[in-house]
A and B are shown apart, each in its own frame.
Chain A
Amino acid sequence: MSLQFRLASRNLFHDRLRFIATVIGIIFSIVLVTVQMGLYVGFRRMVTTMIDHSPAQLWIMPVGTKCFEDPSLLDERQRFRALAVPGVAEATPLVIGYAQWRLPQGTTTPVFVVGSELRGLGLHPWNVVEGRLDDLSVPGAVAIDQTYFERLGITGVEQTAELRDRKVQVMAVSKGIRSFTTTPYVFTDVERARSYTGTTPSKASYLLVRLASDADLWKVQQALRDSLGNVEVLTASEFRNRSRSFWLFGTGAGAALFAGALLGVIVGTVIVAQTLYSSTKDHLTEFATLRAIGSSSRYIYTVIIWQALLSAIVGFAGAAGIGKIVAAATAESALPVIMTPALTVALFMLTVTMCVGSAIAAIVKVMRIDPAMVFSR
């Protein structure tokens, strides 16, 4: 262990109270950043769940569609034009929209209906834990998620409710299909989705396209654009990007999360700068002695930066621990805080940068030391 490191660690641990204050400051700040960034990652994932769970390779949608949940309509006749494009193996309608769900006891709650072809290319509930997907073909059959049982007044399969004055029966129950908008998803087939949402029979929200195995994605995309005219044709990943940029930046949600994170960084920087500075001030005679006996400025900065790094490591360890707990606690919620390895690494780098940056004030203080003071103290 180098003497510089030893000096740094002893300077830090010498004043336990201040060290604890520093670490708490770092933990507070990094936990704040972690939660904000974890929410960002979580949100980023949540907004594309529906797109992620459809096997469609291309999405055909009305011009100007901002995200999956943005309900506007196109003509279902486009479907036959799409099917005529070489390389298209399957093109099926998807109908989405809001509807009022009437609970057995009479109150109503808004739901988001997703209707697609049950046999073939569609958007079906996943993680079905009760009932069977096949049973959705029964008249009035819908699928809902466990999470929303209470909200929808349902406790299990075969129970009934009403959607737009039509009787519906829950025939399948999934686990973990949550909406970040908190409006429950209700899955059903295309025809019933139209009637629940009041959509004209010849209209659809999207056309989902599956390619023939030997077809080229970009060529088919271009061909569809040429042949369908007034629609947009996006690959799944293009649609994901569009949804993300709408929810994260179009709505300001992303900016708010980043602003929160920035606030955390500022608070952390101020706290660490303050404690490092006061520690340096307390040890000023020692630094002056070092300077008097001929140490270079670099030698002294190294000691201070070691102090910053040590604080960063201890603080980060605490923050990462709390971050893990938060992530675990929110994993089942509508908007989970997600810690990815990349985010963890980035947060560590941020902590280190923040702490080392905070050392600047202390370093400036040390730069001004007059080594001759060692004779007068």
Chain B
Amino acid sequence: MTDVVLEATDLVHHLGQGAGRVQALKGVSLSLKGGELVLLMGPSGSGKTTLLSILGCLMTPDSGTVKVGGQAIAALDPEALAKLRRERIGFIFQSYHLFPTLNAEDNIRLALDVRGERARTAKLAAREVLATVGLGHKRKSFPRELSGGEQQRVAIARAIVGKTQVILADEPTGALDTANGQAIMTLLADIARDPSRAVLVVTHDPRILPFANRVVHIEDGRIVREESGGDQLKKASNA
């Protein structure tokens, strides 16, 4: 039996103020189990990023509960939430968000540094994941010296170096061509092979469907459909 690593129930959340106030989530429940890669798909404005922010403990929902590794986050203050994030959640962003003034190795090391892991082992761990993402030879390169695909691989390395249980990615392949997108998804799928870790990927990109164990469809703040990866693959091959 695999454990539920992330669980959200009945999430309701509003964004904006006054006339611009919208209900971005209208009662969303979702859980992630160890060992699965889940795709979250839906039209623009459907609430994907909002959901990801709440699951990642970057925002607290107006109502509903989020449990990370069984722990409810409702009562936690911002510092405790930050601690939870650095210990349990890895993030990957569409625009990478690497630190332009740090080289690849230091960018990765940062994820350990914020946890207070500063020993030589942190450096070695950073080098190791850099090799895992196929950039062992670029550890001294700065983001501006790397291609988009390479930058995203560094960002993935940063997200996985801390061996967090949950990896959340918002459109990780959005800025990449097919080949690079496939390489990135292969890496994420590899992580999700570990039965204690789960990956949730927000995407618009149907080309990455084959990597999913499960696909969750969201529309207008509600989850409308869920399919297992097998169904998707079938559909893709029928088409």
Interface residues of A (CB under 8 A from B): 2-4, 6-7, 10-11, 14, 285-286, 289-297, 299, 370-372, 374-377
Contact = CB atoms under 8 A, between A and B. Distances in A.
B150 interface: no
B114 A299 contact: yes
A25 to B, nearest CB: 23
Interface of A is mostly: helix
By Cβ-Cβ distance, the 7 closest A-B pairs, closest first, are A294-B86, A10-B101, A294-B85, A295-B114, A372-B58, A372-B53, A289-B97
Interface of B: 49, 52-53, 56, 58-59, 78-79, 82-87, 89-91, 93-95, 97, 99-102, 106, 109-111, 113-115, 118, 158, 170
A292 B91 contact: yes
Nearest to A11: B101
B99 A7 contact: yes
A295 B82 contact: yes
B83 A375 contact: no
Contacts of A376: 49
Contacts of B106: 3, 6
Q: Of A7, A285, A293, A371, which is in contact with the most chain B CB atoms at under 10 Å from its CB?
A: A293
Given A375-B49, A375-B52, A375-B53, A296 B114 contact: yes
B60 to A, nearest CB: 10
A4 B102 CA distance: 11
B52 A294 contact: no
Nearest to B109: A3
Contacts of B87: 294
Contacts of B59: 370, 372
Given A7-B99, A375-B52, A293 B170 contact: no
Contacts of A372: 53, 58-59
Q: Of A290, A297, A370, A377, which is in contact with the most chain B CB atoms at under 10 Å from its CB?
A: A290
12 contacts: A6-B101, A7-B101, A285-B97, A286-B97, A294-B83, A294-B84, A294-B114, A295-B114, A296-B79, A371-B58, A372-B59, A374-B91
A294 B89 contact: yes
A2 B118 contact: yes
Contacts of A377: 95, 97
Contacts of B78: 297
A96 to B, nearest CB: 67
B24 to A, nearest CB: 12
Contacts of A10: 101-102
A376 B49 CA distance: 8
Contacts, number: 83
A295 to B, nearest CB: 4
A14 B101 contact: yes
Nearest to B49: A375
A16 to B, nearest CB: 13
A285 B56 CA distance: 17
A2 B114 CA distance: 11
B25 to A, nearest CB: 13
Contacts of A289: 93, 97, 99
A296 B80 CA distance: 9
B79 A297 contact: yes
B114 A374 contact: no
A11 B102 CA distance: 10
Contacts of B83: 294, 296
B175 to A, nearest CB: 13
B170 A375 contact: yes
Given A6-B102, A286-B99, A293 B110 contact: yes
B10 to A, nearest CB: 20
B115 A294 contact: yes
B86 A293 contact: yes
Given A293-B86, A296-B114, A297-B79, 19 more contacts: A2-B118, A3-B110, A4-B113, A6-B106, A7-B99, A7-B102, A11-B101, A14-B101, A289-B93, A290-B110, A293-B114, A296-B83, A371-B58, A372-B53, A372-B58, A374-B93, A375-B53, A375-B94, A377-B97
Q: Of A6, A375, A377, which is in contact with the most chain B CB atoms at under 10 Å from its CB?
A: A375
A292 B101 CA distance: 18
Contacts of A6: 101-102, 106
Nearest to A298: B79
Contacts of B52: 375
Given A371-B58, A372-B59, A375-B52, A291 B101 contact: no
B58 A292 contact: yes
Given A6-B102, A294-B115, A296-B114, A374 B82 contact: no
Contacts of B111: 293
A4 B95 CA distance: 23
A297 B89 CA distance: 18
A375 B94 CA distance: 8
B144 to A, nearest CB: 12
